Amino acid sequence: MQKNILRIVETFISVLLITLAGLLSFSIAWMFKTWTNLSMEELVFHLEVPLEGTNEDMIIEYIRSCAVPTVIIFLAAMVIIAAYRKKKEYSIIVRGAMICSLAIMVVGISYTWKELDIGNYIKNQNNDSNFIEQYYVNPEETSLTFPETKRNLIYIFLESMETTYSDQANGGAFEQDIIPELTQIAQENEDFSGTDTQLNGGEVFPGSTWTMGAMFSQTSGLPLNVSSIGANDMDTQERFMPGLTTLGDILEENGYSQTLMIGSNARFGGRELYFADHGNYDIEDYNYAIEQGWIPSDYSVWWGYEDQKLFQFAENKLQELSTQDQPFNLTLLTVDTHFEDGYVCDLCQDEFGEQYADVMACSSRQVAEFISWIQQQDFYSNTTIVISGDHLTMDSDFCESVSDDYTRRTYTAVINPAVEVQSTEKREYSTLDLFPTTLAAMGVQIDGDRLGLGTNLFSNLSTLTESIGYAKEASELKKKSKFVDEFAQIDETSEELLRREEKIPSAAVGGDAYDPDNHTFRVNINRLKGVNEEVESIGVNVWTVIDKSDTQWIECDDPDEDGGYYIDVDPAIFDNKTGNYYIQACLNYTSGESYKLGSEFMIVVE
């Protein structure tokens, strides 16, 4: 009897370890293939980011590359076990499989530990640095003088755009220039390369290596590195760094109309919260485009809608903004060039035999056409344009052939600035320097020529990168900073944050349309998480009047085989009343605590 129990336990542990080893190995391989030059900071960001707004293609690719092979390995293990279960070699095979599985996991974890430099990451998270406090220049305490006639600003964040994609003769790393139009724009305008004709761009520091971090860094002069919250969890807060003064705050204070226009869901990563909180931007994202009827309600490609439409909508918006009496700031974020491999739109051509290169080339043409259109408009003479790559690409293989000796930089071009560059030397700078540089390009006089950790590149003043070197600055910016945490004023009791951390219950809740044949509508409660106490009941509150005076509580039955719950609501409990029915799912603990699940929603009964 004991032998049989031991045999069962060994078999279970063996299959479990084989499955885990397979999943871990495939996941590690997929991770490093998907994100080249991956850092621990970026990995933590990707693990913590909520799925809302995420490109579904990436999820599908993970399932295809990791989950499916793991299932195959599991089934293969079961077949082998079944074939050898009555043979004397069975115990040797099972124990051998356990040892091999453990060895594979140790090798995988050790490789990941080394590649991501996890030891130093942990050390940095436990070490406070006063570097930012030492060098930070607070805009609130700096004299900023705007010109009598304030200039408009068009700021274009180009997803994953690098100077790397130009040819070697022009400072890139490729044999053929993939972005010739952008190369020409940078060379004919300002990229802070001095008398050198080769492209120059901004280096990227920790805390600036993903889109939200990049947009934050370029408009605040600080890395987005808050120790008490996940890198992309700022959307769980009521405020986004309320103690901070940014580009948007400065322009709002000086009477600017500000708009953020993007072809994806602005809520993703806290972008909506940041730009609304700092500058009161009008947020015109993918959801806004549907609400305004710019695109059909069921239209969805890539992350929302493609850049071709973004530039069309931007032209319309600029014509509207140019009729206002107040100066404007229109900020755009492209998305077609996002990894993996980018989005092929109707304008893309088969030029390079590689999809990502073709998409980059298409983006280059579209940006050039958009800039050309702007330059033909009456408002252009008093408008400064900043074009900046948000961060280096995370595409798995596009830059595989780039030499380790080549320094990859984000693309930068400032068009129609109000001032001349004072230095003829090629500058060493980072994306943090674009904060004061943008204001200077608009004709704003900055006392001391520094804001945040950034330096006005139109001045002769050395950047921090030039003064202390990239390696030293990057090393310090990886560490915790109580100074930045004070700006953040994180509310660690935020219900949304607690849900995301699974400290309180949450669920995916939705409803089906009213079924007139069955005289019911169904409410679905799935993916229940964060349940840490004994549950007394799960159900929904339903009401039909605004003051909720007719609220009815309907409790769920036992969960289905997938762990989900559903309730068929019969309007008969409201005397078959027609109109709007409002629903809020809830979970109640036996302790008396009650939590809302999902958001309140509405179903129409006709």
Task: Decide if pLDDT at 50 tops 60.
Answer: no
Which position has the higher pLDDT, 432 or 87?
Answer: 432
Residue 338: CA count within 13 A, CB half-sphere = 22
Least confident of 314-323, 362-371, 393-402, 567-576: 393-402
3-state secondary structure of 440: helix
| Percent with pLDDT over 70 in the chain | 93
Residue at 456: amino acid letter: N
- Over its C-alpha atoms, the chain yields an Rg (Å, rounded) of 28
For every residue of 517-536, DSSP letters joined together read TTTBEEEEEEEEE---S-EE
Q: Which residues of 145-173 are buried (b: 16+ CB within 10 A; e: fewer)?
A: ebeeebbbbbbbbbbbbbbbbbbeebbbb
Q: List C-alpha distances in Å: 322 to 34, 314, 382.
A: 42, 12, 11
Q: Percentage helix, strand, coil, to 5, in the chain?
A: 40, 20, 40
Helix (H) or strand (E) holding 51: none
DSSP β-bridge partners for residue 553: 541
The model carries a pTM of 0.76
Cis peptide before 340 (omega within 30 of 0): yes
Q: List C-alpha distances in Å: 353 to 163, 195, 285, 420.
A: 20, 34, 32, 41
What was the pLDDT predicted at 36? 64
Residues 6 or more apart whose CB falls under 8 angstroms from that of 545 comprise none
Between CA 100 and CA 90 the distance in angstroms is 15
DSSP β-bridge partners for residue 522: 568
Is 396:340 a contact under the CB 8 Å cutoff? yes
Between CA 18 and CA 98 the distance in angstroms is 7
Which pLDDT band holds residue 53 (cuts at 50, 70, 90)? very low
Residues in the chain: 606
Between CA 543 and CA 601 the distance in angstroms is 11
What was the pLDDT predicted at 47? 61
Q: Give, in degrees to the nearest 5, the angle at Cα 288 between 286 and 292.
A: 120
End-to-end CA distance of the chain: 64
Q: Does domain 152-491 have CATH number 3.40.720.10?
A: yes
Task: Decide if pLDDT at 358 tops 80.
Answer: yes
Which pLDDT band holds residue 98 (cuts at 50, 70, 90)? confident
Least confident of 66-80, 147-161, 209-223: 66-80
State the SS3 of 100-148.
HHHHHHHHHHHHHHHHCCHHHHHHHHCCECCHHHHHCECHHHCCEECCC
Domains 152-491 and 501-605 share a fold: no
Is 193:426 a contact under the CB 8 Å cutoff? yes
Which position has the higher pLDDT, 104 or 248?
Answer: 248
Which position has the higher pLDDT, 36 or 471?
Answer: 471
What was the pLDDT predicted at 491? 77
- Give the sheet arrangement for strand 521-529, strand by strand: 506-511, 521-529, 565-569
Q: List C-alpha distances in Å: 220 to 214, 435, 590.
A: 10, 6, 47
What was the pLDDT predicted at 230? 64
Work out the average pLDDT over 519-527: 93
Task: Decide if pLDDT at 6 tops 80.
Answer: no
Which pLDDT band holds residue 41 (cuts at 50, 70, 90)? low
Structure tokens at 311: 């530039």
Least confident of 2-16, 142-156, 408-422: 2-16
Between CA 150 and CA 339 the distance in angstroms is 37
User: For the chain, what is the mean pLDDT?
Assistant: 90
Q: Give, in degrees to the nearest 5, the angle at Cα 32 between 31 and 34.
A: 65
Highest mean pLDDT among 66-70, 284-288, 478-482: 284-288
Give pLDDT tens digits for 117-176: 787 777 766 677 889 999 999 999 999 999 999 999 999 999 999 999 999 999 999 999
Q: What is the DSSP letter of 513?
A: P
Is 295:84 a contact under the CB 8 Å cutoff? no
Is 363:393 a contact under the CB 8 Å cutoff? no
Work out the average pLDDT over 216-237: 80
Between CA 448 and CA 590 the distance in angstroms is 61
What was the pLDDT predicted at 340? 84
User: Could you identify the residue written with the tokens 């090393």?
Assistant: 475
Q: Does domain 501-605 have CATH number 2.60.40.3760?
A: yes
Which position has the higher pLDDT, 64 or 574?
Answer: 574
Cα 580 to its chain centre, rounded Å, is: 35
Residue 593: CA count within 13 A, CB half-sphere = 11
What was the pLDDT predicted at 451? 98
Is 463:457 a contact under the CB 8 Å cutoff? yes
Q: List C-alpha distances in Å: 374 to 314, 538, 601.
A: 10, 56, 42
Which position has the higher pLDDT, 50 or 243?
Answer: 243
Domain edges within the chain: 2-125, 152-491, 501-605
